[in-house]
Amino acid sequence: MAQETKNGAERRLIRIFDTTLRDGEQSPGNSMNMEEKLRVARQLEKLNVDIIEAGFPIASVGDFEAVKRIAQTLTKPQIAGLCRSSDKDIDRAWEAVQYAGERARIHTFIATSDIHMKYKLQMEPAKVLATAVKAVKYAKGYTSNVEFSCEDAVRTRLPFLAEVVEATIDAGATTVNIPDTVGYTTPSEFYNIIRYLKENVSNIEKAVISVHCHNDLGLSVANSLAAIQAGAGQVECTINGIGERAGNCSLEELVMVLRTRHDILPYYTNVATEQLTSSSRLLSTITGIMVQPNKAIVGANAFAHESGIHQHGMMMDSSTYEIMTPESVGLAAGALVLGKHSGRHAFKKRLQELGHELDDEMLNRAFVRFKALADLKKEVFDEDLDAIVADESREEEMYKLVLLNVSCGSLSVATATVKMEINGQLLRAAELGDGPVDATLKAIRKLTKSKAKLEQFNVGSITGGTDAQGEVTMRVSDGNHLVVGKGSSTDIIEASAKAFVHALNRLHYRQKKMNGGV
């Protein structure tokens, strides 16, 4: 599909395949429950991505149910389920994605590099080729929309890679994915790989070439762009670039490169770029993993100008130092200002603009929190709203923080008194500590009888000013699971307590799921 530019040149459509809910969720600390996945999926639909890889259905009952629910709920994007090249995997994937009807996609894969075939699969190349073809033909029995991936393609011998691609297209694959599974390639090398396939696979025009680049060397976006220039028509990427190890190609970066440099890159996407910031913030709110301030496109400093020379240029004309407008990525100028006089309708509208769809009960709780915060602050910022939603959008709570009182000072030992509701029972404990946070966490551990280990502790300010909310993010493990806990408050000690309790609830939820609970 092509689109004409003003000078009559054609611009080629690049399909955006979002794998935030599959590859992105596989990275430590990014796991999401059913409702969180559905919230992200709805936001991806607003973002107008072409395909959502909703999960790996055979991986777990939870993953299957999430893919199924997303396929049942969304109405616009294609919904893909990942599966290995086995009948059992493909059956399970179709069982989940079938509810998307004509928009359902089966995405099957097998490794093709010598190192993977020898050490992981322990299969000869001929067997791998036969397995790939068989899997595609089997998947075609369910749907005509079949994608096949050559895992570790960039370390695969090119003649064999071409042989597998040609055979799977003959078998019925309509998309062939060439992944840089370990983030090993460079732009020029990847360009040559895609060109080799274009020139040596006789039926290559019958399928869309897709690429899936990891960021181990920091080249995932550059490699994806090189592949597009060589002929790729689909890019697999994630919001905020999350994913295995160093992550995946960042969706927001790739899309904005194509939009901003359309003068030399004759390509376009269907993405509604004004939803990029909302999508990024929603994901950070759910996972508790924030993007670094200097992150391109969606970082807090992406449109900040501190240098006097830059500020002077900006006052004269914003194009002096901005190559794209804040509005183009969803940072709307003159956005609605919320404060203590704002009503429920304005509050709900702004939450929806930020990508938060809350039911009535959750909205009411969030509105009460908003009003309480508005009494403490002159203005409530979008980041404050994200934090409020993060506190209210949580799993079933076994542990609830009811009261916290801390006494500390340079001449006294920190003491924390904590009151909690645990399984409907009110309990209280007091503990001494090396500081107010240490004392607080000790008291919570005592009440919950938890032996969970605090792996990481980060404190930040959500917005500027002395009245800003403090935000605490913790990584907590119990040996079987690693979760992220998040809490916010104008009192940093209370934020720490909330984050720890949130983490303990998430550990309890994971343990319950593992034991067959809801």
Q: Pick out the residues of the known binding site for Mn(2+).
A: 23, 212, 214, 248
DSSP structural state of residue 14: -
- What amino acid is encoded at 125 in this protein? P
What is the DSSP track for 194-205? HHHHHHH-TTGG
**What distance in Å separates the CA atoms of residue 311 and residue 304, rounded to the nearest whole number?**
9
**What distance in Å separates the CA atoms of residue 390 and residue 50, rounded to the nearest whole number?**
28
Q: How far is CA 12 from the centre of its chain?
A: 26
**What distance in Å separates the CA atoms of residue 501 and residue 479, rounded to the nearest whole number?**
17
**What distance in Å separates the CA atoms of residue 59 and residue 56, rounded to the nearest whole number?**
6
**What distance in Å separates the CA atoms of residue 41 and residue 205, rounded to the nearest whole number?**
31
Q: φ and ψ at 61, to 5 degrees?
A: -65, -40
**What distance in Å separates the CA atoms of residue 380 and residue 383, rounded to the nearest whole number?**
8
Q: Which two three-digit tokens encode residue 464?
A: 């500027």
User: What's the burial of 414, exposed, middle or buried (CB within 10 Å: 0-12/13-18/19+)?
Assistant: buried
**What distance in Å separates the CA atoms of residue 230 and residue 237, rounded to the nearest whole number?**
18
| Residue 113, CA distances (Å) to 24, 297, 471 in order | 23, 35, 45
Three-state secondary-structure class, residue 210: strand
| Residue 292, CA distances (Å) to 109, 237, 240, 296, 460 in order | 33, 18, 10, 9, 12
| Residue 211, CA distances (Å) to 107, 159, 176, 464 in order | 13, 18, 8, 40
DSSP structural state of residue 337: P
Q: Which of 41, 31, 97, 39 is nearest to 62 (CA)?
A: 31
**What distance in Å separates the CA atoms of residue 329 and residue 325, rounded to the nearest whole number?**
7
- What amino acid is encoded at 394 in this protein? R
**What distance in Å separates the CA atoms of residue 136 and residue 203, rounded to the nearest whole number?**
16
**Cβ neighbours of residue 367 closer than 8 Å, sequence gap 6 or more:** 344, 347
**What distance in Å separates the CA atoms of residue 288 and residue 475, rounded to the nearest whole number?**
9
| Residue 199, CA distances (Å) to 193, 195, 203, 204, 205 in order | 10, 6, 10, 8, 10
**What distance in Å separates the CA atoms of residue 449 and residue 443, rounded to the nearest whole number?**
10
